[in-house]
Structure 1
Amino acid sequence: MHPPQFTAESSSNSVLERDFTVGDVPGVLWSPTGAAERAPLILMAHGGGHHKKHPAMSGRARRLVSGCGFHVAVLDAPGHGDRPRTAHDEAEIAELFRARAAGEREGPVVVRYNEHLARIAVPEYRAALDALQELPEIGTDGPVGFWGINMGTAIGVPLVAIEPRITAAVLGQHWPDVLAEKAKRITVPIEFDLQWDDEHITREEGLALFDAFASKEKSLHVNSGRHKELPRFEADSAVRFFARHFGGAGTVLT
């Protein structure tokens, strides 16, 4: 395995942002500027319809870099961001819009499509982790975490279930279908987000996925509000979660 191929970089407010590729998969790595010592790596996965540099991704990454001194990496999911859509992607997206316009439940379409994307994305994330650990500022002996909500959880659960290098994860807001059986294999500390008034995922479905994790340490963070109304302070909680497990100041930034 070779290190990632960096294609562009910029820096601001003591955060270095570097675009990279592993094979033909594009990603972005945020790091402390001038970092000389090794630091933990947090892998993140974006939500459906978004991309690696979506404001939610860059905002969370900067919190982890500036607040804890960690490295953070995100890949574009298949069919998202700088990656082309396949005919399968287009068909599933069209079916989602059809169900939405007809007032039907979106869950069955999203679950099916996300499972398809995860089958592709999980080995890509493992290859990216191999490559990123070749960098001297990350290395092979440091802790690795995972943070992904919504579609990020559809990728994260099967990834964390089979990847022993990931030792803590923040997940949430997904259906238990497909994922619950995989969650039963996960024993690392988990922080799990759930929206109590989610119009797509019922309370029972959200709780069923949380309950499936075999982790001795798992925290359920429930907030009132709809699917896209996850409070911003949950990002600060996630930073503190990783700081608690991996070290770092865990400073909350505004």
Structure 2
Amino acid sequence: MHSVRFTAESSSDGVVERDFLVGEIPGVLWAPASGADHAPIVLVGHNGGMHKKAPGLRARALHAAAAWGFNVVAIDAPGHGDRPRTDEDEDERARTEIRQAVTARDTPRFAAASVRFTASLAEQAVAEWRATLDALQALPQIGPDAPVGYGGGISMGTAIGVRLTAVEPRITAAIFGGGFFVDEPVITAARQITVPVQFLLPWDDEHADRSSGLALFDAFASAEKTLHANPGDHRTVRWVGLDDTFLSRHLGRV
């Protein structure tokens, strides 16, 4: 198992931000400067085409660390952020096809290419998230008994997060979001999820029909699940209307 290697550190407004590597996986850990050891861990996924310090993600992470005392973690998905990309690899060909489909306004082609690309990426990303969680829980200030939640991510962040939550028993509550093409493997994974779930649905996404988001919400086997729909597409929807105490209640901070 790879250990965590911290590579940079900064702090502001009572939160310490530390860049790290787990093997070749680049990530960032936000933690309260005066927080207690063994605080809950919240994993946050970024959208497709973005990275671990995307402005909206970082803002939510800073708030969760400052307001609730969480250790908040993000990693770059394969081929994103500080991860290497090549013009020859299959992922780059998929990105090209997605861009061409968007330009041509060819929704069926865009949907098929997006599903293939996300499925390929998610298989690797789930394994990397689990390796990162293993490494973080080996740190004495976090420890193996720290509660774990999945803290959101529209589109790709949820496509990965649903698959991760379905197979990772350490995750005991999750926040997901719509705005992507939901295929049968994602629905199958959702049916395995029984932890409490909050789901944010972009009501006006130009590509992913809202019915697919409703189908995903319906598939969650959780006894406690809530749906929040906001105007806008997955790029502009704001994280408003969600219960701000949801993760804190389920991770033992209130």
Residues 90-124 of structure 1, C-alpha deviations (whole Å, 9 max, x = no match): 11111011001111113222121111110110000
Q: Do the aligned partners of 2:38 and 2:145 also contact (CA within 8 Å) in 1?
A: no
Q: Do the aligned partners of 1:67 and 1:248 also contact (CA within 8 Å) in 2?
A: no
* Equivalent residue number for residue 9 of structure 2: 9
* Equivalent residue number for residue 251 of structure 2: 246
Q: Distance in 2 between matches of 1:130 and 1:207?
A: 33
Mapping 1:72-151, distance limit 5 Å: 72-86=72-86, 87-105=89-107, 106-147=110-151, 148-151=153-156
Q: Distance in 1 between matches of 2:16 and 2:104?
A: 45
Deviates more, 1:16-25 or 1:29-38: 29-38
* Equivalent residue number for residue 175 of structure 2: 170
Q: Do the aligned partners of 2:94 and 2:117 also contact (CA within 8 Å) in 1?
A: yes
Structure 1 residue 238: Cα displacement: 5.6
RMSD: 1.4
Q: Distance in 1 between matches of 2:113 and 2:11?
A: 39
* Equivalent residue number for residue 54 of structure 1: 54
Structure 1 residue 138: Cα displacement: 1.4
Between the two proteins, the alignment pairs up a number of residues equal to 247
Alpha-carbon spacing, 1:2–1:85, altered in 2? closer, same or farther (3 Å): closer
The alignment partner of 2:235 has SS state of coil
1:126 alignment partner AA: R
- TM-score, normalised to structure 2, is 0.93
2:165 to 151, 160, 168: 160
Q: Do the aligned partners of 2:2 and 2:23 also contact (CA within 8 Å) in 1?
A: no
Q: Distance in 1 between matches of 2:60 and 2:116?
A: 27
The alignment partner of 1:187 has SS state of coil
Structure 1 residue 134: Cα displacement: 1.1
Q: Distance in 2 between matches of 1:83 and 1:3?
A: 18
Q: Do the aligned partners of 2:200 and 2:239 also contact (CA within 8 Å) in 1?
A: no
The alignment partner of 2:99 has SS state of helix
The alignment partner of 1:45 has SS state of coil
Residues 20-43 of structure 1, C-alpha deviations (whole Å, 9 max, x = no match): 011111000000113343200001
Q: Distance in 1 between matches of 2:147 and 2:243?
A: 16
Q: Do the aligned partners of 2:51 and 2:77 also contact (CA within 8 Å) in 1?
A: yes
- TM-score, normalised to structure 1, is 0.93
Q: Distance in 2 between matches of 1:93 and 1:176?
A: 18
Stretches of structure 1 that go unaligned for 5 or more consecutive residues are 250-254
Q: Distance in 2 between matches of 1:129 and 1:228?
A: 28
2:249 alignment partner AA: R
Q: Distance in 2 between matches of 1:238 and 1:12?
A: 26
Mapping 1:200-211, distance limit 5 Å: 200-211=207-218
How much identity, in percent, do the aligned residues show? Answer: 53
The alignment partner of 1:5 has SS state of strand
Where relative contact order (Cα < 8 A, 6+ residues apart) is larger, the structure is 1
Q: Do the aligned partners of 1:192 and 1:220 also contact (CA within 8 Å) in 2?
A: yes
Structure 1 residue 16: Cα displacement: 0.4
Q: Do the aligned partners of 1:122 and 1:155 also contact (CA within 8 Å) in 2?
A: yes
Structure 1 residue 55: Cα displacement: 0.6
Mapping 1:172-187, distance limit 5 Å: 172-173=177-178, 174-177=180-183, 178-187=185-194
